[in-house]
Amino acid sequence: MKKSLIIVLSMTLVLGTVFAASAKQAGVLEIWTDKVRYEILKPIASDFEDDYSVEVELSQINYDDIRSKFNKAAPSEEGPDLLIGAHDWTGELAQNGLLEPITMSKDLKERFTEVSLDAFTYNDEIYGLPYSMEAIAVIYNKDLVEKEPETWAELMTISENLTDPEKKQYGFVYPGTGDPYHTYPFISAYGGYIFEYDGGFDPNQLGLTTEAALKGLRKLDAMYEDGLIPQGIDYSTSQGLFTEGNAGMWMTGPWAISGIKKAGIDFGVMKMPPMDGNQPKPFVGVNGFYLSAYAEDTVLANEFLTNYVATEEVMTKLYEEGNRPPVYKPVREKAKDDPTTAAFLESASVGVPMPNIPEMNATWGALTDKLQLISQQKQEPKAAMESAEEIISQAIEKGEY
Residue-range domains of the chain with CATH: 25-134+285-352 (3.40.190.10), 137-281+357-398 (3.40.190.10)
Give the pLDDT score at 146.
93
Q: What percent of the chain has pLDDT over 70?
A: 94
13-17, 133-137, 339-343, range with the lowest pLDDT: 13-17
Which pLDDT belongs to residue 300? 95
Mean pLDDT score, 188-208: 93
* pTM for this predicted structure: 0.86
Please count the other Cβ atoms lying within 10 Å of the Cβ belonging to residue 194: 27
pLDDT over 60 (residue 7): no
Whole-number pLDDT of residue 315: 97
How many C-beta atoms surround the C-beta of residue 261 within 10 A? 12
Q: Please check whether residue 370 is in contact with residue 390, taking contact to mean a CB–CB distance below 8 angstroms.
A: no
Mind listing the pLDDT tens digit for each residue in 18-75?
Answer: 333 333 334 799 999 999 999 999 999 999 999 999 999 999 999 999 999 999 999 9
Tens digits of residue pLDDT in 350-381: 999 999 999 999 999 999 999 999 999 999 99
| pLDDT exceeds 50 at position 302 | yes
The band of 199, judged by pLDDT with boundaries at 50, 70 and 90, is: confident
Sequential DSSP letters for 4-59: HHHHHHHHHHHHHHHHHHHHTTT-EEEEEE-HHHHHHHHHHHHHHHHHH--EEEEE
d(CA 319, CA 132): 7
User: Average pLDDT, whole number, for the chain?
Assistant: 91
Using an 8 Å Cβ cutoff, are 189 and 219 in contact? Answer: yes
- Residue among 271, 240, 319, 327 at smallest CA distance from 136: 271
Q: Residue 1: is its pLDDT beyond 50?
A: no
